[in-house]
């Protein structure tokens, strides 16, 4: 096997020990390299004699393929292979939840950008020119682009054999037809948000002499990629080996396959290493996005503000293929009333197939959309009641022991009211209109559109609930292998998992757990690969919980072996022993250096961690004793300035209070909250993939806008720790909740400033100025 080389230091080598155990904030081992530009991402990989792969994609959202002529492309100088669906060695279909996505399109394309053919050439420009010579004869069909119509109109063509509904889920609790004295309702819509990770899809496939292939790539879930790729290649799992390379962001967009199968197919066909790297334009077509949604909501309450009922209908556009649409429907419906006690509920959720861009996992999966709706509804209800919106939320807040509308009882702390109280205690920014304003701090910023005239300020709140880890009966687990040995007279632990470090700081967390459990300073993190058991996906805010639990279990097993040896050799009671500072210490006063005890021996243990069993929702009522293993809670307060003439918005301050259970790494926790809040800000005021007739109109960072440092406001973060007794160390997922709560807080603040009934996110200038 050829070993890939890199012009920069490989990320797997980032294993220097840094002091700090659980509760400390040691420096990230990859931090300095990333900020200095020395870190090696998957797009930096290189191998001797490698070829470049490229993908031909459909220009049409919906079309029948009559023929594909690859002859002219094969004759192009420098081209080694041109492949179509006929060249797929195994099954020409894959999928995360439903196997419905072709490796390469056969007789029909269902979205703009669907892969049709592949090329391997000696230079990326040669590959692109060869793509242009492939001739595909299409019969263009009228695309299905309205998800609500796809849910109910049986006269529409069926995009898949089972029809156009991926999943329908109702949830009924109490009296679904209950009435109330005060009622508010509206229709809320949310556009398509892109994960906008900066590192494009990329990988390097290297054929092996055994007939297999090694792929070095950036992904979120090595083992599920391996399984899907092996089926498509017609190879056993042990012939398809995946190794994690540097990941330049993910946010859910790397859960689905992109170039994995294609790159391996080209490498196996040519017998040479093949590298594929998407450019930014192709990346917009090469990965899934956040599901856009249309949501009909109605809230009923008493005159005193107690919620009586919530009724909702939600439509989620999954695009051409299922991806994570079934999970989006599950999360959206099971979390659709928010962190509130609601005695009567009728919620219906549909996930649909259309010919719009495929949608799948993105940070806050399935919880972002309903939170936008129910939190705007709470402000609308507060206005109808003449009540303070924070107070309304607090009197309806769930707490430990509350029963959700799915029938699940919350069995760990749920400090929703406290989070709101803590937010109110954070000082508001000063507002001084007497002195000339610095234009950099006004809506429009350095474009100098205003000097303070026509500016109004608004304040908005939100509080949300988010599930952590996999749900509805999925056996969510991770595997960890831990070694302990003496190197140069010092005890060293090595942790090996397949968990994907996608920027969240998981490498550091694994080191911290091993240091705390084994009492050693030096902890090496083995490269993540498929040579160890599955760790699941770096998604659903689950890795610190699940992989952290697996590392803890493996360390405990190693520790027990150490204690057993001390008991055997020195007659000490194993129950009296601890590991600290590289020594084994007994309550009797006995002390031995761990390195001396180990000698030349290596202790290795592999363990799994499984969370508590969850159960599917009833397909007719949505009831379940435990849909989710854990819930997380976050609250935001946003302060905005709005130029009502031009419709421009400046987020002045964005504060967050969040319960994290236990902060394994406090600095990393705050960093996650900052990042998640900024992503929620993007969805609130700028981020939306524009689609017309199934075609993306803004596939670039020129026209798809994301927040920069100039858009990011000061953020005060109040982290509280209310331990979950069922989770390792009491941890609670951190990464997703702030993304969910930031968006409605900002939109509520804009509504507070302008008095406008804004119901779509992102809020753009025309929504304000035209209104």
Question: How confident is the model over 136-186, as pLDDT tens digits?
Answer: 999 999 999 999 999 999 999 999 999 999 999 999 999 999 999 999 999
pTM here is 0.96
On whether both 438 and 406 belong to a single domain, the answer is yes
Question: Would 393 be classed as within a structural domain?
Answer: yes
Distance CA 636, CA 757 (A): 20
Question: How confident is the model over 598-622, as pLDDT tens digits?
Answer: 999 999 999 999 999 999 999 999 9
**If you average pLDDT over residues 77-81, what whole number do you get?**
98
Which is nearest to 326 in space by CA: 351, 361, 349?
351
Q: Are 62 and 142 in contact (CB under 8 A)?
A: yes
CATH classification of the domain holding 268: 3.90.1170.50
pLDDT band at 451 (very low <50, low <70, confident <90, very high): confident
Give me the domain span that covers residue 216.
44-141+200-247+254-286
On whether both 523 and 647 belong to a single domain, the answer is no
Question: Would 7 be classed as within a structural domain?
Answer: no
Q: Residue 762: is the preceding peptide bond cis (ω within 30°)?
A: yes
DSSP-derived secondary structure for 607-669: EEEE-----PPPTTT---S-S-SEEEEEEEEEEEEEETTTTEEEEEEEEEEEE-SS-SSHHHH
On whether both 459 and 501 belong to a single domain, the answer is no
Q: Is 702 exposed, middle or buried (0-12, 13-18, 19+ CB in 10 A)?
A: exposed
Q: What is the pLDDT of residue 14?
A: 32
Question: Would 188 be classed as within a structural domain?
Answer: no
Distance CA 6, CA 660 (A): 38
On whether both 529 and 462 belong to a single domain, the answer is no
**If you average pLDDT over residues 44-69, what whole number do you get?**
98
Tokens standing for 2?
A: 């050829």
On whether both 532 and 432 belong to a single domain, the answer is no
H or E stretch covering 112: none
pLDDT band at 8 (very low <50, low <70, confident <90, very high): very low
Residue % of the chain over a pLDDT of 70: 97
Per-residue pLDDT at 18 exceeds 50: no
Q: What is the pLDDT of residue 584?
A: 97
pLDDT band at 770 (very low <50, low <70, confident <90, very high): confident
Tokens standing for 764?
A: 């753009």
Q: What is the pLDDT of residue 4?
A: 42
Number of C-beta neighbours around residue 95 at 10 A: 16
Question: Would 424 be classed as within a structural domain?
Answer: yes
On whether both 547 and 665 belong to a single domain, the answer is no
Q: What is the pLDDT of residue 16?
A: 34
Q: Is 593 exposed, middle or buried (0-12, 13-18, 19+ CB in 10 A)?
A: middle
pLDDT band at 438 (very low <50, low <70, confident <90, very high): confident
Q: What is the pLDDT of residue 522?
A: 96
Backbone angles phi, psi at 748, to 5 degrees: -60, -35
Work out how many domains the chain is built from and give that number: 3
pLDDT band at 771 (very low <50, low <70, confident <90, very high): confident
**Rg for the chain, CA atoms, rounded:** 27
Per-residue pLDDT at 494 exceeds 60: yes
477-487 sheet: strands from edge to edge: 522-525, 490-496, 477-487, 603-610
Question: Would 158 be classed as within a structural domain?
Answer: no
Q: Give the domain-ending residue among 286, 310, 343.
A: 286
DSSP-derived secondary structure for 269-291: HHTS-EEEE--HHHHHHHS-BPP
On whether both 625 and 511 belong to a single domain, the answer is no
| 601-to-361, 485, 563, 565, 597 alpha-carbon distances in Å | 44, 6, 14, 12, 9
Burial 263-275 (b: 16+ CB within 10 A, else e): bbbbbbbbebbbb
On whether both 485 and 431 belong to a single domain, the answer is no
pLDDT band at 439 (very low <50, low <70, confident <90, very high): confident
Q: What is the pLDDT of residue 6?
A: 37
Q: Give the domain-ending residue among 562, 585, 610.
A: 610
Question: Would 516 be classed as within a structural domain?
Answer: yes
**If you average pLDDT over residues 239-258, what whole number do you get?**
97
CATH classification of the domain holding 372: 3.30.365.10
Per-residue pLDDT at 707 exceeds 70: yes
On whether both 544 and 647 belong to a single domain, the answer is no
| 695-to-49, 523, 671 alpha-carbon distances in Å | 38, 49, 36
Per-residue pLDDT at 283 exceeds 90: yes
**If you average pLDDT over residues 693-714, what whole number do you get?**
97
On whether both 673 and 756 belong to a single domain, the answer is yes
Distance CA 501, CA 529 (A): 11
Question: How confident is the model over 630-671, as pLDDT tens digits?
Answer: 999 999 999 999 999 999 999 999 999 999 999 999 999 999
Question: Would 596 be classed as within a structural domain?
Answer: yes
Q: Are 285 and 61 in contact (CB under 8 A)?
A: no
pLDDT band at 5 (very low <50, low <70, confident <90, very high): very low
Per-residue pLDDT at 197 exceeds 60: yes
Tokens standing for 527?
A: 């490269």
Q: Are 293 and 316 in contact (CB under 8 A)?
A: yes
On whether both 431 and 383 belong to a single domain, the answer is yes
User: Average model confidence (pLDDT) for the chain?
Assistant: 96
On whether both 467 and 486 belong to a single domain, the answer is no
Q: Is 424 exposed, middle or buried (0-12, 13-18, 19+ CB in 10 A)?
A: middle
Q: What is the pLDDT of residue 318?
A: 98
Q: What is the pLDDT of residue 335?
A: 98
Residue % of the chain over a pLDDT of 90: 95
Question: Would 23 be classed as within a structural domain?
Answer: no
Q: What is the pLDDT of residue 446?
A: 86
Distance CA 554, CA 538 (A): 20
**If you average pLDDT over residues 679-690, what whole number do you get?**
98
């Amino acid at each position: 096997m050829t070993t890939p080389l890199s012009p920069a230091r490989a990320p797997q080598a980032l294993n220097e020990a840094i002091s700090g155990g659980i509760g400390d904030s040691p420096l990230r081992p990859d931090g300095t390299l990333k900020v200095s530009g020395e870190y090696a991402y998957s797009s930096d990989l290189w191998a001797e004699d490698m070829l470049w792969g490229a993908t031909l994609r459909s220009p049409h959202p919906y079309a029948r393929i009559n023929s594909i002529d690859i002859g002219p492309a094969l004759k192009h100088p420098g081209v080694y292979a041109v492949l179509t669906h006929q060249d797929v060695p195994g099954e020409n279909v894959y999928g995360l939840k439903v196997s419905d996505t072709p490796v390469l399109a056969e007789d029909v394309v269902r979205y703009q950008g669907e892969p049709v053919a592949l090329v391997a050439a000696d230079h990326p420009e040669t590959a692109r020119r060869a793509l242009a010579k492939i001739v595909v004869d299409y019969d263009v069909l009228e695309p299905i682009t309205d998800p609500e119509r796809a849910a109910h109109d049986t006269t529409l063509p069926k995009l898949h054999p089972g029809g156009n509904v991926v999943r329908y889920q109702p949830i009924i609790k109490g009296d679904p037809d209950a009435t109330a004295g005060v009622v508010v309702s509206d229709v809320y819509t949310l556009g398509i948000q892109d994960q906008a990770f900066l590192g494009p899809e990329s990988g390097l496939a290297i054929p092996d002499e055994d007939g297999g292939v090694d792929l070095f790539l950036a992904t979120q879930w090595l083992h599920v990629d391996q399984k899907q790729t092996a089926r498509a290649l017609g190879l056993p799992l042990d012939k398809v080996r995946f190794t994690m390379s540097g990941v330049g962001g993910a946010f859910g967009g790397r859960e689905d396959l992109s170039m994995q199968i294609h790159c391996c197919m080209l490498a196996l066909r040519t017998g040479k290493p093949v590298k594929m790297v998407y450019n930014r334009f192709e990346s917009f077509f090469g990965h899934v996005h956040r599901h856009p949604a249309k949501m009909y909501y109605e809230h009923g309450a008493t005159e005193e503000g107690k919620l009586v009922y919530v009724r909702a209908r939600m439509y989620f556009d999954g695009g051409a293929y299922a991806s994570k649409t079934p999970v989006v429907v599950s999360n959206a419906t099971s979390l659709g009333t928010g962190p509130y006690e609601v005695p009567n509920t009728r919620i219906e959720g549909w996930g649909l197939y259309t010919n719009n861009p495929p949608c799948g996992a993105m940070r806050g999966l399935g919880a972002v959309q309903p939170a936008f709706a129910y939190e705007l509804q709470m402000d609308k209800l507060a206005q109808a009641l003449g009540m303070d919106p924070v107070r309304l939320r607090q009197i309806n807040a769930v707490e430990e022991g509350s029963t959700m509308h799915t029938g699940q009882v919350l069995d760990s702390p749920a400090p929703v009211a406290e989070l709101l109280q803590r937010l109110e205690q954070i000082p508001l920014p000063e507002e001084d209109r007497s002195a000339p304003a610095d234009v950099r701090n006004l809506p429009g910023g350095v474009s100098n559109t205003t000097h303070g005239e026509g500016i109004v300020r608004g304040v908005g709140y939100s509080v949300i609930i988010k599930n952590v880890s996999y749900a509805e009966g999925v056996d969510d687990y991770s595997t960890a292998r831990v070694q302990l040995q003496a190197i140069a007279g010092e005890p060293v632990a090595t942790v090996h998992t397949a968990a994907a470090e996608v920027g969240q700081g998981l490498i550091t967390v694994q080191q911290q757990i091993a240091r705390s459990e084994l009492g050693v300073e030096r902890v090496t993190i083995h490269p993540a690969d498929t040579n160890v058991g599955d760790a699941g996906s770096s998604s659903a805010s689950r890795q610190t919980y699940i992989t952290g639990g697996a590392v803890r279990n493996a360390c405990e097993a190693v520790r027990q072996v150490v204690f057993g040896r001390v008991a055997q050799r020195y007659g000490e009671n194993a129950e009296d022993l601890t590991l600290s500072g590289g020594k084994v210490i007994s309550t009797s006063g006995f002390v031995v250096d761990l390195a001396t005890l180990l000698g030349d021996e290596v202790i290795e243990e592999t363990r799994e961690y499984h969370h508590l069993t969850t159960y599917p929702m009833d397909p007719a009522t949505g009831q379940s004793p435990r849909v989710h293993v854990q819930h997380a809670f976050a609250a935001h307060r946003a302060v905005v300035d709005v130029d009502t003439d031009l419709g421009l918005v400046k987020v002045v301050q964005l504060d967050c209070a969040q319960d994290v259970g236990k902060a394994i790494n406090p600095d990393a926790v705050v960093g996650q909250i900052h990042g998640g809040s900024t992503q929620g800000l993007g969805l609130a005021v700028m981020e939306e993939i524009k689609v017309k007739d199934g075609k993306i109109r803004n596939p670039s960072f020129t026209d798809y806008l994301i927040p920069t440092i100039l858009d990011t406001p000061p953020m005060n973060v109040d982290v509280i720790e209310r331990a979950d007794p069922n989770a390792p160390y009491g941890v609670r997922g951190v990464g997703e909740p702030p993304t969910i709560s930031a968006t409605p807080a900002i939109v509520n603040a804009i509504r507070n400033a302008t008095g406008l009934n804004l119901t779509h996110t992102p809020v753009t200038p025309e929504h304000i100025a035209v209104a």
